[in-house]
Amino acid sequence: MAAVKGLLGRKVGMTRVFSEEGQVTPVTVIELGPCTVLQKKTKEREGYNAVQLGFMPKPFSRVSRPHIGHVEKAGAEHGFQYIKEFEVDDPDAFELGQVITLKDVDIRLLVDITGTTKGKGFAGTVKRHGFSRGRMGHGSKHHRQMGSIGQSAFPSRIIKGKRMPGRMGGKRYTIKNSMVVDIRPDDNLLLVKGAVPGARNQMVMVKFK
């Protein structure tokens, strides 16, 4: 088993699985790997032990020249859509160009999954923060406005962090301790309980406990 602490994957979508007793569990299907080792980071040189992994092939015609030169050092014949680093205990246990799949890692019951939430553009406080709206009739002038936002004399400014309208979504988010429901190494599929941040086909990072 490879001692890498995580892998890159792609969110396939959501479905549900049934237990032998007929109990339904909603799951998210993640295509985890295969990932290619592109670079090794050592404590003596970079100050920490890690390996750089590439995921999802991308033709050389669609990447930059520095990208091509970087991946060619690992013997890759194509570029990669995503490149991320993962912590390891011993970088020397890996070889440049080595392909790591779901069969090569030891996954326990719980994992941490990081993704980017769906961007929903500019939103008001009702949609963005769940504020209650005002009355919708009888002469009310307060429907979906946010109301008072601060004091007058002191401190005479809006307190930092005030929940206000703004850009909603599109942020990096981590689901901790997601329960692994099923592992299908032949298909590189990992099924975890519940939802995972991001849209379908979007990259996610899965870190093992």
Are 101 and 135 in the same domain?
Answer: no
Are 66 and 149 in the same domain?
Answer: no
Residue 3 has what pLDDT? 81
Q: How far is it, in rounded angstroms, from Cα 9 to Cα 28?
A: 12
| CATH value at residue 179 | 3.30.160.810
Residue 209 has what pLDDT? 84
Q: What is the dihedral of CA 57, 204, 91, 106, to 10 degrees?
A: -110
Q: 59 lies in which domain range?
A: 6-122+173-208
Per-residue pLDDT of the chain (209 residues; tens, 9 = 90+): 558 889 999 999 999 999 989 999 999 999 998 999 999 999 999 999 999 999 999 999 999 999 999 999 999 999 999 999 999 999 999 999 999 999 988 888 999 999 999 999 999 999 999 999 999 988 988 899 988 888 888 888 899 999 999 999 999 999 999 999 999 999 999 999 999 999 999 999 999 98
Are 150 and 77 in the same domain?
Answer: no
Residue 183 has what pLDDT? 94
Are 156 and 133 in the same domain?
Answer: yes
Are 86 and 49 in the same domain?
Answer: yes
Q: Is position 117 within any domain?
A: yes
In the chain, which ranges are E strands? 6-18, 24-32, 35-41, 50-58, 79-87, 99-100, 110-116, 121-123, 166-168, 172-184, 189-193, 203-208
Number of domains in the chain: 2
Q: Is position 110 within any domain?
A: yes
Are 70 and 118 in the same domain?
Answer: yes
Residue 2 has what pLDDT? 58
Residue 147 has what pLDDT? 87
Q: Is position 1 within any domain?
A: no
